Structure 1
Amino acid sequence: MVDRIDGHTILIGLMAYPIRHSMSPTMHNTSFVKLGLNYAYLAFEVGNKELPDAIQSIRSLGMRGSNISMPNKQKVIPLLDKLDPVAKMVGAVNTIVNDDGVLTGYTTDGTGFMKSLADENLDIRGEKMTISGAGGAGTAIEIQAANDGVKEMSIFNIKDATWANAERNVKIINEQTDCKAQLFDLADQDAFKREIADSAIYCDSTGVGMKPLEDKTLVSDPSFFHKDMIVYDTVYAPRTTKLMTVAEEAGVNHVFNGLGMMLEQGAEAFKLWTGEDMPVDYIRNILFSDDASKVK
């Protein structure tokens, strides 16, 4: 790091809370070194309160941009100058690009999710999907999956501030895609079990399972799952979440954490910032290695 940082190094950030667990700095900085690019990527613990000042700092410091994660993916939108059409449709941003002080918001989460399944030779087009959560990541996944050909989608959400967003997602999917979407209250556990049992994939896009909720899961009963389905937790720290443990107890054949999604969404953002292709296979060997869980 000392050898490659100089007065011309361009800064890229990651703004979220909590975020010290993130492997994104390892992924991007290793990619910069591999390709000989003079960038540096740093994580900043930024919540909603600090967000306006943090976004202004992208302009003030001449940063190339930043990733945005929970709880800022929707709160950041009014602070930006422009939105990519997909980000506008999703209503959430996870990547900002700074072009001479003009900040444009993009979302790469949905593409990252779908590409991570393709990397495993799994195809959910024409299938039914059940997903919990309708925040920034969940919305991106839901919209992208519907656009990419998922036939039916059951969205479960708690009746909190994100319920209206879940209703919006269902409306957009039903009106603008060929997918049929329904919204359910997560408190209705009978419906939750029924919809998961009838699905090819269950995805948890919430923060349940991540610190400080690492001992929690929305599905604690293995009987919710069947062995031929996919269970996908967008959380990747801890490497094996409580949800994954329950799915493995049920004998589910395809159980994933969010590392693949994190890698592929990062590759999309990397291209937006640098114009270069991330060395994905090289990074995958690092992130998915036995020692990767020790890397922060």
Structure 2
Amino acid sequence: MKKVFGLFGYPVHHSMSPIMQEAAFSDCDIMANYHAFLVKPEQLKEAVKSIRALQLGGVNVTIPHKVAVMEYLDEVDEEARQIGAVNTIVNRNGRLIGYNTDGRGYLESLLELTETVVGKNVAIIGAGGAARAVATVLINAQVSQLVIANRTVLKAEALLQRLPNGNTVTEVMSIAELEHTLHKFDIIINTTSVGMSPHADESPLSLTHLKENTVVSDLIYNPLQTKLLMEAEAMGALTLNGLGMFVNQGALSFEYWTEQKPNRQKMTDVVLKQLGGIRC
């Protein structure tokens, strides 16, 4: 009998998780299916109950449920508690355990480019859930300085209050302040949706003061090269799109569900094919 896994979100029609995870199951010879389930906010509690009732192996959780789902679980992993959100649920004999693989998925992709983040000065653009996940793992990884820049400074300040304590110096800036101090940072990360298709002609900030060899990262992977990344590359920066984070977070979820390591290159290739056939 095939095991069933899935994705809870609203909306979910655009998600590439089903094709990516089914490719991973197939490659590992695991008899399983992965489905995207459209779950309205008022249906979330019952949807979580259905994981037990239908004996699903586990699910991913996406917008807008990552925070709300936590109250319906039996256990939440410590890192997920720090981040304040769950994107992966594992069904262990009817006990539902929540994890967050977003932050670690991002950090793994970043470390392929930079080797270490210890002692680095980092600026994060945005103050939403993705920003919190990335900021949490970077503080735990011992970056030296972490700045949260957002168009609404009050939202950035609220995010800062929810981050874990550590040795990292943390600060809030406006987008304008960040633009004028870009030369002070080693890594700049866009966690907003600015520049995502179909608005690929937009960028979250000006790079006039960017220094050469800065790492400029964008969590967006559609398009693979956002306006921000194209401009950064033209100025001599190292660039990183969001594809690695997407694949890595999915692979980490897969490992929690199956206790097997999937072939991440195969997962990457199937997503790239869906995006238009471009290879890494």
Q: TM-score range by the shorter chain?
A: 0.7 to 0.9
CA distance in 2, matches of 1:26, 1:98: 21
The answer on whether the counterparts of 1:128 and 1:201 sit within 8 Å (CA) in structure 2 is yes
2:261 is matched with which residue? 277
Pair 1:179-2:168 in alignment: yes
1:107 is matched with which residue? 100
Equivalent residue letter for 1:98 = N
2:67 is matched with which residue? 74
CA deviations on 1:105-129 (whole Å, 9 max, x unpaired) are 1011111111112223542221100
For the residue of structure 2 that corresponds to 1:76, the secondary structure is helix
Find 1:197's aligned residue among 183, 187, 194: 183
1:235 is matched with which residue? 220
Equivalent residue letter for 1:26 = I
1:125 is matched with which residue? 118
For the residue of structure 1 that corresponds to 2:162, the secondary structure is helix
For the residue of structure 2 that corresponds to 1:218, the secondary structure is coil
2:275 is matched with which residue? 293
CA deviations on 1:225-255 (whole Å, 9 max, x unpaired) are 3331111111112222232233234x24321
Pair 1:44-2:37 in alignment: yes
CA deviations on 1:134-184 (whole Å, 9 max, x unpaired) are 3322211111111112111001234499556413234x2xxx322111123
CA distance in 2, matches of 1:247, 1:14: 34
CA distance in 1, matches of 2:213, 2:168: 22
CA distance in 1, matches of 2:199, 2:42: 22
Task: Please report the TM-score for the alignment, with normalisation by the length of structure 2.
Answer: 0.88
CA distance in 2, matches of 1:88, 1:20: 28
For the residue of structure 1 that corresponds to 2:138, the secondary structure is helix
CA distance in 1, matches of 2:119, 2:146: 11
Equivalent residue letter for 2:171 = Q
CA distance in 2, matches of 1:73, 1:130: 24
In structure 2, stretches of 5+ residues that fail to align are: none
1:259 is matched with which residue? 243
Inter-CA distance 164–128: structure 2 relative to 1 (3 Å threshold): closer
User: Which shows bigger deviation, 52-61 or 133-142?
Assistant: 52-61
Equivalent residue letter for 1:253 = A
Aligned-pair distance for 1:285? Answer: 4.4
The answer on whether the counterparts of 2:126 and 2:156 sit within 8 Å (CA) in structure 1 is no
For the residue of structure 2 that corresponds to 1:96, the secondary structure is strand
Find 1:86's aligned residue among 79, 83, 86: 79
2:132 is matched with which residue? 139
Equivalent residue letter for 1:28 = Q
Equivalent residue letter for 2:169 = K
2:47 is matched with which residue? 54
Task: Please report the TM-score for the alignment, with normalisation by the length of structure 1.
Answer: 0.83
CA distance in 1, matches of 2:8, 2:181: 35
Inter-CA distance 196–47: structure 2 relative to 1 (3 Å threshold): farther
Identity of aligned residues (%): 31
Find 1:33's aligned residue among 15, 26, 29: 26
Q: CA RMSD in A?
A: 2.4
In the alignment of these two chains, the number of paired residues is 277
Find 2:196's aligned residue among 176, 199, 210: 210
Aligned-pair distance for 1:83? Answer: 0.5
